[in-house]
């Protein structure tokens, strides 16, 4: 009977040792898999961040070009308006000059008469 108990204890010890070994092995595998998952998640996050950054840069560049084009159009319009004003100012100055010359000519004619 004592031998049976000793044999049962030995078998129980083996079962416990196997279970502990199996548990340690599974734990090591789980840790390894967790590390793999973490690394994959970090890579995906970095890739996603890079994609978003590139998208944002493209949108910024597109908006920048729109703003520049709008600025160019505004500048062109201002230049046209300035040219129109210069032409109007020149026309006004010529008219005033001609009126002054005409007035002087009439005064000269009146003075001779």
63-106 pLDDT per residue, tens: 999 999 999 999 999 999 998 889 889 889 999 999 988 888 88
Q: Residue 4: its pLDDT value, please?
A: 84
More confident residue, 101 or 62: 62
Q: Residue 66: its pLDDT value, please?
A: 97
CB contact burial 54-66 (16+ within 10 A = b; e otherwise): eeeeeeeeeeeee
Q: Residue 113: its pLDDT value, please?
A: 66
Q: How confident is residue 60, by pLDDT bands cut at 50, 70 and 90?
A: very high
The residue written with tokens 């001779």 in the block is 112
Dig out the tokens for 42 from the structure: 């970090």
Please work out, in degrees rounded to the nearest 5, the angle formed at the alpha carbon of residue 45 by the alpha carbons of 42 and 37: 35
**CB-based contacts of 91-99 (< 8 A; 24+ apart in sequence):** none
Question: Cα separation of 84 and 78, whole Å?
Answer: 10
Confidence (pTM)? 0.50
């Amino acid at each position: 009977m004592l031998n049976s108990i000793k044999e049962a204890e030995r078998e129980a010890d083996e079962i416990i040792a196997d279970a502990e070994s199996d548990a340690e092995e599974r734990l090591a595998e789980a840790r390894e898999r967790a590390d793999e998952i973490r690394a994959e998640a970090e890579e995906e996050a970095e890739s996603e961040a890079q994609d978003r950054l590139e998208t944002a840069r493209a949108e910024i560049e597109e908006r920048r070009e729109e703003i520049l084009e709008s600025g160019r159009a505004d500048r062109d319009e201002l230049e046209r308006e300035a040219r129109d004003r210069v032409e109007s100012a020149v026309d006004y100055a010529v008219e005033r000059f001609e009126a002054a010359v005409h007035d002087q000519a009439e005064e000269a004619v009146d003075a001779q008469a």
